[in-house]
Structure 1
Amino acid sequence: MFRTAVGAVGLLAALAAVPPASAESNSDYSVLIISRERLEVATSCEIGVYLNDQLSGRVFQEQSTSFNLPPGPVDVRLRLLPGQMPGCAAGIEDQRSTRLNLQAGQINKYRIAMGHNGLELRRASLGY
């Protein structure tokens, strides 16, 4: 009985020494929204969103995706992804990415459009 009581007191003392978990404030990250809400890209293929050369999201027509990212530079690349739709197999494509400099506490919205060199990001208004 004595050992159990000493063990319980020791466990409570150890838990008291651990600092409580706390959520970071909203200004510690930036929000990046990438939208395909308009029909500017004339394909029904899925578009992959690569952040720093890692596939981070997929966007279909009339959809958007968002990311909570730390402030600083991020490279964004868009690419047609092979999928269930015919004609969506990846071919020779532009491998350039767009470098965005994100600020803490900022909400950035971009829309996907078709440019001279293929898919590109264009700044969009937040609309609220």
Structure 2
Amino acid sequence: MIRAALGLVGLLGALAVVPPASAEGNTDYSVLMISRERLEVATSCEIGIYLNDQLAARLFQEQSTSFNLPPGPVDVRMRLLPGQMPGCAAGVEDQRSTRLNLKAGQISKYRIATGPHGLELRQANLGY
């Protein structure tokens, strides 16, 4: 009984040291929107969106995605993903990424297009 009481007192003491979670503080972030709304990429294959070399989204035709990111630089890379569609097997592809410098409170919209070196991002109008 004494052990349980001491354990409970110790646990409560440890919880008092940990600061409470709060939604307040540094809430500055930027919004990055990437769309594949237009038929500029002539493939039915799924396109993978990589942020800082981590797969963050997968897009088919007529889809878009958005990310709430901290301000600062972010590397964006795209590649065709192998999947259910025939002919979507990954081959030799360009591993270049686009570096975007995001600012707090900024909303940026890009669309996926095909350029001379493969898939690329082009700035798009926010439309509102």
With the length of structure 1 as denominator, give the TM-score of the two structures. 0.83
Q: Determine the structure 1 residue equivalent to 2:35.
A: 35
Distance (Å, rounded) in 1 between the aligned partners of 2:42 and 2:101: 29
Distance (Å, rounded) in 2 between the aligned partners of 1:8 and 1:81: 52
- For 1:29-108, what aligned pairs fall within 5 Å after superposition? 29-108=29-108
Q: Identify which range, 17-26 or 67-76, moves more after superposition.
A: 17-26
Could you tell me whether the CA contact under 8 Å between 1:49 and 1:76 is conserved in 2?
A: yes
How many percent identity over aligned positions?
83
With the length of structure 2 as denominator, give the TM-score of the two structures. 0.83
SS in 2 for 1:105: coil
Q: Displacement, 1:50?
A: 0.6
Gap regions ≥5 residues in structure 2: 1-6
Flag as ranges the 4+ runs of structure 1 deviating above 6 A: 7-17
Q: Determine the structure 1 residue equivalent to 2:119.
A: 119
Distance (Å, rounded) in 2 between the aligned partners of 1:47 and 1:122: 15
Aligned length: 127
